[in-house]
Structure 1
Amino acid sequence: MNYKTDVCIVGAGPGGALLAYLLAKQNVSVILIERHQKIAKAFRGEHLNEVGEEILKKYDLYSKIEELGLLAMESLEYWENGKLLKKILPDPKIGHLGIHVPQAHLLQVILGEAQQFPPFTLMTNTKVIDLLMNDEERILGVKAMCEGKEVTIESRITIGADGRYSTVRKKAGIEVSKIKHGYDLLWARIPAPPGWEPSIKMALIDGFQLSLFTQAKGYIQIGWNIEEGSFPELRKQPFTTFIEKLIQAFPILDRSVKENITSWNDFVLLDVYSNFSETWVRDGVAFLGDAVHTMTPTGAFGLNSAMKDAECLAQIITPEEINKLDLIQCETERKKEIEKLQKIQIEKEQNFATQFVIYS
């Protein structure tokens, strides 16, 4: 089966979904494809900063997401040996230190709004297997497997919004520089104890960062940095010795931790790295988000940066024209911002331990 559209977006994460919505709203025909059957797949980078909040409010999405449930962080705290060392409150003009937005809520609203516009089509359970190219190697769309059948989607431009392992980027032959940060990350989620305030809490354990992010619906997400490549050996050690360090850092979590983290299998291991591509645009294709600039979890920039990429692209793609020079200008603008944010991430990671030094 053959489809034709103005824009084919590969990847229905927040960046791809937002771009599809903004384009459809502007009467640009768009097909958004997603390899998973269900859109609300597991996702761990769910914190908005003021950039993401502003975008959602600008396009009348924020209040609808708020109705489904989100949670503003009221403080950033640093703890040592079970005691509060210092507490940072938000700038009154911003009002929060990040907002937890479950990805299911975010995508439900964005895609629900997009489906009100006839130019929008969503194809799930659809996996890209190749790119369509002409003799001059201009990309003309994608070849995909949809519900077990091969389809082609011809488009004026293809957008790679398919994450750090981007198939579109690889098929387009675009290189990416990978930067390791010296640590891996263990994720876990536990119920918050009674009276837990919406906050981000930090501790320093064995020289590595431990972070607690309050989530909507009464949960806490644990992000525990460990030495890069150390998990296989760590798993050979007694689990209780490891988990006691978490309880010592935050004694109030004693019961919830013991009831909900009972083995190494209750952690999810994330291979932490950032990457950056010098090429975000070529004939017939453009990229956004993790496909060309994977961020580490530090500072929660990833989600917000992908949404900003999407907004930039939406402002230059019209039903009448897709100008390569405009795409390159968007690329240049966004690359400068991403390079700055990735440097900030490295600085935050390198200087994290200094937050626990109290000067008299």
Structure 2
Amino acid sequence: MKLEADVCIVGGGPGGALLGYLLAKKGITTIVLERHTGIDKEFRGEHLNQDGERVLKKYNLYNKVQDAGLLLMERIEYWQHGHVIKTVTPAAGEEHVGIHVPQKNLLSVLIRESKTYQNYKLLMGTKVTELSFNNNGDVTGLKATKGDQEVTIKSKIVVGADGRFSTVRRLAEIPFSTIKHGYDLLWAKIPSPEGWEPTIKNALIGGKQLALFTQQGGFIQIGWNIEEDSYPVLKKESFAPFIEQVIEAFPELTETVHQHIQSWNDFILLKVQSSQSPVWAKDGVVIMGDAAHTMSPTGAFGINCAILDADALADIIEEALDKNDRSAAQLRKLEDARRADAEKLQMQQLIKERTYQDNFKIPALPTGV
């Protein structure tokens, strides 16, 4: 299969899918490649903040995602010994402290809206194998496989929106450095008990963070921080004491936890790290989202950063095509616009992780009270 487009986006997650929509809307011929065969894969970073919400509203997409299903978080709570000791509520003028949007709901809207444009094409189940270069070393497209079929795409610009283990970044020989956070994360998903309110609940267990994220559709996503690289040893031990600590922190989850977490196989391990790349672009190719600046799970910044990248990159690509300039200098305008904010958030994540235990310190009473 041989195809041609102005832009080929590798990665059909929220950032890549939104960029595909924005480019198609501008009349730019766009092909999006996604290695998964469907949009309902398990995805942990599904919380929008005000930035992500603002971008979706900017393009009249928010209401459509709302129709597909989302859930506004009413507050963030910190629990100790079965009691709330600290509460964070929406800021003045805000309706929520975060929005849970299942990835399949967000992607279904972005894909549906993109397909209304004839200049848009989506290839699912398609894996990139190599980039194509001209005699000057500029990227001019790529090769991929779709099942047993080879796909060759000629494009003016290739975008790597393919996540923390980006194939495009590797093939383009764009360097990156990783930042260790000292912990890994275990995820589990359970049905929420009756009457469970849309909240994010935090606890401290053995000096480590335990977080409960209410999800649209009647579920709770549980995230346990564990020591980095400790899971192989932990998995050899009984999971029962681990679960009992969770129940002790949140007794109302006793029944649903016992019913739905019955072995280590009910957990999903996430190796936690963030990354930074010294450059985000070369001639004909640019990376964005986690490919350019992997975020840790703290604060759920990752999906929102990818959405902001897509918003900025759509205009940069439009300008590049109008000027017939696909140079690294032109494409690095994304880096100029977004690097400082992304790295600032990465620093905030490290600070939040380092000071998490401070949320559980009870203020001392004034003298004489």
Q: Same fold (TM over 0.5)?
A: yes
Amino acid in structure 2 at the alignment position of 1:355: N
Find the counterpart in structure 2 of residue 232 from structure 1. 232
Query: When the two structures are superposed, what TM-score results if normalisation uses the length of structure 1?
Result: 0.98
Consecutive unaligned residues in structure 1, runs of 5 or more: none
CA separation of 1:248 and 1:308: change in aligned 2, threshold 3 A: same
The letter of the residue matching 2:268 is: V
The residue aligned with 2:134 is 134
> Which amino acid in structure 1 is aligned with residue 345 of structure 2?
L
State how many pairs are aligned: 360
Q: Deviations over 1:39-96 (max 9, x none)?
A: 2322110000000000111101110111111000001000011111111111131211
Q: How does 1:190-205 map to 2 (within 5 A)?
A: 190-205=190-205
The letter for the 2-side match of 1:172 is: A
Equivalent in the alignment of 2:359: 355
* CA deviations over 1:15-40 (Å, ceiling 9, x no partner): 00000000000000000011111123
Partner of 2:315: 315
Tell me which amino acid in the other structure corresponds to 1:159: V
Bigger mean CA offset, 140-149 vs 264-273? 140-149
Partners of 2:179 and 2:273 within 8 A in 1? yes
- Residue equivalent to 1:345: 349
Aligned to 2:33: 33
1:334 aligns to 2:341 (yes or no) = no
2:152 match? 152
Residue 259 of structure 2 corresponds to which residue in structure 1?
A: 259
For 1:225, give the aligned amino acid: N
In structure 1, the partner of 2:188 is 188
List runs of 5+ in structure 2 lacking aligned partners.
none
| Alpha-carbon offset, residue 232 of structure 1 | 1.3
In structure 2, distance between residues paired with 1:264 and 1:157: 44
The structural deviation recorded for 1:317 is 1.9
Distance of 1:212 and 1:302 partners within structure 2: 18
SS in 2 for 1:317: helix
For 2:119, give the aligned amino acid: P
Per the normalisation by structure 2, the TM-score is 0.96
Q: Secondary structure at the match of 1:315?
A: helix
Q: Distance in 2 between matches of 1:96 and 1:172?
A: 40
Q: Quick one: distance in 1 between partners of 2:245 and 2:198?
A: 22
Report if the CA contact (8 A) 2:316-2:333 is conserved. no
Residues 39, 103 of structure 2: 8 Å contact kept:
no
Instruction: For 1:1-360, list aligned pairs within 5 A.
Output: 1-318=1-318, 320-321=322-323, 323=325, 324=327, 325-359=329-363, 360=365
CA contact (8 A) 2:298 2:353 kept: yes
Per the TM alignment, residue 326 of structure 1 is displaced from its structure 2 partner at its CA by 3.9
Deviation at 1:332, TM superposition (A): 1.5
Superposed displacement of residue 321, structure 1:
3.5
C-alpha displacement of 1:238: 1.9
Secondary structure in 2 matching 1:316: helix
After superposition, the Cα gap between the structure-2 partners of 1:284 and 1:158, relative to the gap in structure 1 and judged at 3 Å, is: same
Percent identity of paired positions between Structure 1 and Structure 2? 53
